[in-house]
Amino acid sequence: MAKPTGARCNLSCAYCFFLKKDRLYPGDSFRMSDDLMEQYIRQTIEAHSTPEVVIAWQGGEPTLMGLDFFRRSVETEKKYIKPGMAILNTLQTNGTLLDDEWCEFLHENHFLVGLSLDGPREMHDTYRKDRAGRPTFDRVMGAVRLLQKHKVDYNILCTVNAANEDKPLEVYRFFRDEVGAEYIQFIPVVERVSERGFQEGSDVTERSVDPGQFGRFLIEIFDEWVRHDVGRMFVQQFDAVLMSWVRGYSSLCIFRPTCGEGVVLEHNGDVYSCDHFVEPDFLLGNIINKPLIELVGSDAQRLFGQGKRALLTRQCRECLVLFACYGDCPKHRFTSTSDGEPGLSYLCPGLKMFFEHVNRPMQIMAALLRQGKLAEGVMPLLAQEERQSHRREKPGRNDPCPCGSGVKYKRCHGR
Ligand code: SF4
Ligand code: SF4
């Protein structure tokens, strides 16, 4: 993914890890030149022999580049696209600069837009403020309506943080029933206290999600989803985790044995190992001096990706849900196991709880998919199971009535 404005953004969200990154480039204008944009697109297309190529724009806030930059990027893609190849453009945005003209362009060029929204007004506005400290909820909701009006494909990116972690159903139902969204991603805020904004230290800010609460957050939403919404609401974590049950590995890097395929390109051509590791130690090189494909295939990047498996703690290696979790993202591995081994994910307690909780429905959905059926078949099956277990729990006719009357059930509430 590419960051055409580097870390620059028109908002100042309290938990944003990007904003401190501009210290890596003091005095820089933080604008990708057209020459570099062309290099990025050409090199990305040339490096692919797959039928689809993703050109991903991320920030900071990429819309600060202005619409014409993206018009030129689409023209550049047409110049280099190979026969039979399709290009999917994605744009991650806070939405506040979108208008009708933007949305017409996004629709015409089939962009997939990721929009940041942290739930209902009060929760969203806790941390997502502009540079003047003003709330942004109304502006983001305005963007949602514009995207919907122009039929732009979008998904919601919702961070899970101290302000919304204990209201999972409120958040989920807001997206489903009020926003009308169908695609949602939940991203845990795990923000380490570091002046430099690097992945260092083991203290987290008070805005960070509590590990156990993150598990409960996902579980409550999962229980609602798996009973009512499979096949009509798409929660990235649930789909990605289902793949672990279906084929043995997830579609999300954080839950895969190794990673390292998602490098990030800065506005000046510098390439880093991952969006979460834009730090000098993880700088692979610059695409002006070395082709992108060589940087992605470099030994340094291979070591980075394989480190995810190589550095698993013993607790993870012996964990029953390792196949689904794989120790989580290395950026979260700054706590210790019960016997003191460092390198355990901060989110481990919540992730373990979640993976254990979803095991049975995941097994059912995986079996359905293997039989060529739809995963939504899980909903009537679970409803039937619950009816049967409810019947089993019903007291016998001669048992004492559970209402506490001391009378036999058949003569009391069982009548
Ligand atoms: S460090 Fe984390 S986010 Fe980055 S590629 Fe690896 S698993 Fe994915
Ligand atoms: S649940 Fe915890 S112990 Fe198990 S693999 Fe994940 S991080 Fe490791």
> Whole-angstrom Cα distance, residue 325 to residue 250?
9
**Confidence (pLDDT) at 21:** 61
**Which residues, listed in sequence order, are joined to residue 153 by a DSSP beta bridge?**
112
> Whole-angstrom Cα distance, residue 9 to residue 195?
19
Determine whether 378 is exposed, middle or buried from the number of CB atoms within 10 Å of its CB (0-12, 13-18, 19+): buried
Which atom of ligand 2 is closest in space to residue 345's alpha carbon?
A: 7
* Whole-Å CA distances, 65 to 4, 164, 339: 7, 31, 50
**Which residues, listed in sequence order, are joined to residue 186 by a DSSP beta bridge?**
158
Beta strands at 270-272 and 264-265: parallel, antiparallel or unpaired? antiparallel
**Which of 351, 353, 358 to probe ligand 2 with, by most ligand atoms within 8 A of CB?**
351
Which one of the listed residues 275, 281, 328, 399 is annotated catalytic? Answer: 275
**Confidence (pLDDT) at 180:** 98
* Percent helix, percent strand, percent coil in the chain, to nearest 5: 45, 15, 40
* Contact 307 CB / ligand 1 (< 6 Å): no
Where does 210-332 show beta strands of DSSP type E?
234-235, 264-265, 270-272, 283-286
Nearest CA to ligand 2 atom 8: 316
Whole-prediction pTM: 0.90
> What b-and-e string marks burial along 324-358, b requiring 16 or more CB atoms within 10 Å of the CB?
bbbbbbbbbbbbeeeeeeebbbbbbbbbbbbbebb
Q: What are the φ and ψ backbone dihedral angles of 195, each rounded to 5 degrees?
A: -60, -35
> Whole-angstrom Cα distance, residue 31 to residue 5?
5
Which atom of ligand 2 is closest in space to residue 326's alpha carbon?
A: 5
Task: Find out whether 140 and 95 touch, Cβ atoms under 8 Å.
Answer: yes
- Give the DSSP letter string of 362-379: HHHHHHHHHTT--GGGHH
How many angstroms does the Cα of residue 257 sit away from the middle of ligand 1?
11
- Give the DSSP letter string of 124-142: HHHH-BBTTS-B-HHHHHH
Determine whether 236 is exposed, middle or buried from the number of CB atoms within 10 Å of its CB (0-12, 13-18, 19+): middle
**Which of 254, 316, 334 to probe ligand 1 with, by most ligand atoms within 8 A of CB?**
254
* Contact 256 CB / ligand 1 (< 6 Å): no
Q: Minimal CA–CA distance to 15: which of 187, 242, 254, 248? A: 187
* Contact 348 CB / ligand 2 (< 6 Å): yes
229 among known catalytic residues: no
How many angstroms does the Cα of residue 164 sit away from the middle of ligand 1?
24
How many angstroms does the Cα of residue 415 sit away from the middle of ligand 1?
60
Q: Minimal CA–CA distance to 59: which of 125, 128, 1? A: 1
How many angstroms does the Cα of residue 329 sit away from the middle of ligand 1?
5
Q: Minimal CA–CA distance to 137: which of 154, 149, 120? A: 120
**Confidence (pLDDT) at 17:** 64
pLDDT 10s per residue in the chain (415 long)?
Answer: 999 999 899 898 888 865 566 678 888 889 999 999 999 999 999 999 999 999 999 988 999 999 999 999 999 999 999 999 999 999 999 999 999 999 999 999 999 999 999 999 999 999 999 999 999 999 999 999 999 999 999 999 999 999 999 999 999 999 999 999 999 999 999 998 776 667 677 788 999 999 999 999 999 999 999 999 999 999 999 999 999 999 999 989 999 999 999 899 999 999 999 999 999 999 999 999 999 999 999 999 999 999 999 999 999 999 999 999 999 999 999 999 999 999 999 999 999 999 999 999 999 999 999 999 999 999 999 999 888 887 777 778 888 777 667 788 888 777 7
Element containing residue 95 per DSSP (H, E) = none
Task: Find out whether 325 and 355 touch, Cβ atoms under 8 Å.
Answer: yes
Which atom of ligand 1 is closest in space to residue 260's alpha carbon?
A: 5
> What residues have CB less than 8 Å from 137, skipping those under 6 apart?
121, 124, 125, 128
> Whole-angstrom Cα distance, residue 265 to residue 173?
36
> Whole-angstrom Cα distance, residue 175 to residue 152?
17
Enter the tokens of residue 384: 């039937």
How many angstroms does the Cα of residue 390 sit away from the middle of ligand 2?
33
Which atom of ligand 1 is closest in space to residue 252's alpha carbon?
A: 8
DSSP state of 297: T
Helices (H), 48-175: 67-80, 100-108, 121-127, 137-149, 168-173
